[in-house]
């Protein structure tokens, strides 16, 4: 999963980016409202963590610009403003959830997981496709109850396919959602990771749809 982290406090941004990366996310960061608006409009993200008190352009204005342009990515508003009025303004501007500083990192991660699951149509904390179960909280995948040893890239790829089980996911979509902006997006990388995953998963779990991409689960 690929996230946009918008936070102007450099130390907090580094801490959040490290925690999100450790949780299995590819993270792009912005430190001001103008950059955040541009990235949110022109890059593909599975969710955004958006601070409201930003230089250049206020976070609420950034969020309104995304929504006005039809961007539907889930947005978790993160701010020091804790009054109920500020929460209302954030939600009215298009926020999906709200977390006031100070906060516990585990709560932020849990709220992000829930936002991403709901956006993909999943309510439960675990996603099951046949014998394969993915626990996003623990970044853990099991086959018939036995844990799989996956690299972070393998986990992100499998998680995205399972979140969107039943439909074909193109190479371009995977590239946009799995890799941060500064990652060297070698065209052969996905094929390598799909091949590795297939050796670890039940036969036929990942289906190649020639000329279109990959699919797990039955067609919707």
Q: For residue range 133-166, what is the model confidence (pLDDT) as tens digits?
A: 999 888 899 999 999 999 988 999 999 999 999 9
pLDDT attached to residue 220: 45
pLDDT attached to residue 183: 63
Q: Which two tokens stand for residue 186?
A: 């070698």
Strand partners, 141: 134
CATH of the domain at 146: 1.10.10.10
Lowest mean pLDDT among 86-90, 107-111, 113-117, 189-193: 86-90
On whether both 198 and 160 belong to a single domain, the answer is yes
On whether both 169 and 63 belong to a single domain, the answer is no
On whether both 98 and 180 belong to a single domain, the answer is no
State pLDDT tens for residues 8-36: 999 999 999 999 999 889 999 999 999 99
- Structural domain that includes position 84: 2-119
pLDDT attached to residue 187: 58
CATH of the domain at 104: 3.40.50.2300
On whether both 17 and 115 belong to a single domain, the answer is yes
Domain termination residue (choose one: 119, 154, 174): 119
On whether both 109 and 201 belong to a single domain, the answer is no
Percent of the chain residues past pLDDT 90, beyond the cut? 67
Q: Reduced to 3 states, what is the DSSP secondary structure of residue 178?
A: helix
118 or 41, higher pLDDT = 41
Mean pLDDT of the chain: 90
Residues 6+ apart with CB under 8 A from 209: 168, 215
Check: CB of residue 47 under 8 Å from CB of residue 73: yes
Neighbouring C-alpha atoms within 13 Å toward the C-beta of 69: 15
Neighbouring C-alpha atoms within 13 Å toward the C-beta of 79: 25
Per-residue CA distances from 49 to 2, 76, 100, 149 (Å): 11, 5, 12, 29
On whether both 66 and 173 belong to a single domain, the answer is no
Q: Where are the alpha helices (DSSP H) in the chain?
A: 10-22, 33-42, 59-68, 84-93, 105-119, 152-163, 171-178, 189-200
The answer, yes or no, to whether residue 198 has pLDDT greater than 80, is yes
On whether both 147 and 109 belong to a single domain, the answer is no
Q: Mean pLDDT across the stretch 202-210? A: 94
On whether both 73 and 146 belong to a single domain, the answer is no
On whether both 87 and 165 belong to a single domain, the answer is no
On whether both 112 and 34 belong to a single domain, the answer is yes
Q: Per-residue confidence at 87, pLDDT binned at 50, 70, 90?
A: confident
Task: Kindly state the helix (H) or strand (E) to which residue 98 belongs, with its residue range.
Answer: strand 97-100
On whether both 152 and 198 belong to a single domain, the answer is yes
On whether both 6 and 115 belong to a single domain, the answer is yes
10 Å CB burial of residue 147 (0-12, 13-18, 19+) is exposed
The torsion angle over the Cα atoms of residues 118, 120, 122 and 125, rounded to 10 degrees, is -70
Q: Which two tokens stand for residue 199?
A: 């050796």
What is the domain count for the chain? 2
168-200 CB burial, b ≥16 within 10 A, e <16:
ebeeeebbebbbbeeeeeeeebbeebbeebeee
Q: Per-residue confidence at 207, pLDDT binned at 50, 70, 90?
A: very high
Residues 6+ apart with CB under 8 A from 35: 56
Domain termination residue (choose one: 87, 119, 151): 119
The answer, yes or no, to whether residue 84 has pLDDT greater than 80, is no
The answer, yes or no, to whether residue 175 has pLDDT greater than 80, is yes
Domain termination residue (choose one: 92, 119, 146): 119
State pLDDT tens for residues 27-83: 999 999 999 999 999 999 999 999 988 999 999 999 999 999 999 999 999 887 667
């Amino acid at each position: 999963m690929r996230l946009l982290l918008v936070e102007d406090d450099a130390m907090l941004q580094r801490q959040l980016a490290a925690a999100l990366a450790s949780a299995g996310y590819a993270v792009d960061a912005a430190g001001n409202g103008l950059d955040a608006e541009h990235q949110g409009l022109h890059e593909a993200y599975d969710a955004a963590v958006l601070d409201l008190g930003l230089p250049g352009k206020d976070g609420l204005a950034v969020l309104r610009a995304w929504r006005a342009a039809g961007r539907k990515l889930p947005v978790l508003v993160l701010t020091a403003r804790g009054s109920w009025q500020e929460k209302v303004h954030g939600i009215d501007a298009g926020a999906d959830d709200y977390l006031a500083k100070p906060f516990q990192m585990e709560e932020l991660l849990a709220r992000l997981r829930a936002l991403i699951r709901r956006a993909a149509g999943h309510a439960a904390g675990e996603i099951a496709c046949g014998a394969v179960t993915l626990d996003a909280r623990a970044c853990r995948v099991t086959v018939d109850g036995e844990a799989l040893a996956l690299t972070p890239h393998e986990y992100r790829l499998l998680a995205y396919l399972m979140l969107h089980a039943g439909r074909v996911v193109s190479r371009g979509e995977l590239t946009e959602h799995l890799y941060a902006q500064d990652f060297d997006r070698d065209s052969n990388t996905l094929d390598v990771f799909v091949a590795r995953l297939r050796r670890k998963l039940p036969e036929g779990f990942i289906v190649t749809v020639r000329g279109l991409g990959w699919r797990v689960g039955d067609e919707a």
